[in-house]
Structure 1
Amino acid sequence: MSEITTLQQVCKERKMSPTKARKMLRAALTSGKHSELSKAHKPKSAWQWAKGSAAEKEAIQVLTGKAC
């Protein structure tokens, strides 16, 4: 089983609010620009990604405000 990175861990590392992070991630999903992120997240499920995956990298890019 692969290691999992959760939104809580990412927020703690970046000292940001999980509420704000979820809003940013939802906005990224609706923009349609982050295909790996949208493939990895299922509605009504936790925000988590396999460590080192493309989806995790996209999520971190969205949360740090850096372009893909």
Structure 2
Amino acid sequence: MTTMTTSKKPDAAPQAKSDTASPPKNAPPLVTLEELAREMKMPPRDARMVLRLAAKQTKQYPTLGKEHVARQPWSWAQGSKALEEARTALAAACAD
């Protein structure tokens, strides 16, 4: 008959790193898609659709597509070139 005791201790569970790292203290405030859509008086869903299409137009909006990472929320640094391009694209869509 064997005993159930072992001399090896079970491994401790690894500590999970938090994916929600706080931004650096000196980083400029971010403007989110929801804030921008509210400013332009349009639903965030429609704004997201317009920005996806605008990001593909690299000649007209060169910075917008470069700064956005796929599968990540839309957000821009206050006063950035990409934010101005996003405002321009949404304004053009509202005018139609």
TM-score after normalising by structure 1: 0.89
Quote the offset at 1:32 in angstroms.
1.9
Counterpart amino acid of 1:56? L
Q: Give the deviation of 1:31 after TM superposition.
A: 2.1
Question: Whole-Å Cα distance in 2 between the matches of residues 26 and 65 of structure 1?
Answer: 14
The match for 2:47 among 9, 14, 21 is 21
CA distance in 2, matches of 1:14, 1:58: 13
Structure scoring higher RCO (CA < 8 A, sep ≥ 6) equals: 1
Tell me which protein shows more helix as a share of its residues: 1
The one-letter amino acid of 1:24's match is V
3-state SS of paired residue (2:31): strand
Unaligned runs of 5+ in 1: none
Q: How many pairs align?
A: 66
Counterpart position of 1:35 = 62
Displacement of 1:60: 0.3
1:64 is matched with which residue?
91
Q: What is the deviation of 1:39?
A: 1.4
User: SS state of the match for residue 39, structure 1?
Assistant: helix
The aligned counterpart of 1:54 is: 81
RMSD: 1.3
Give TM-score scaled by structure 2 length.
Answer: 0.64
Larger Cα-atom Rg: 2
Report what 1:10 is aligned to.
36
Q: Which runs of 5+ in 2 are unaligned?
A: 1-26
CA distance in 2: counterparts of 1:40 and 1:31, whole angstroms: 13
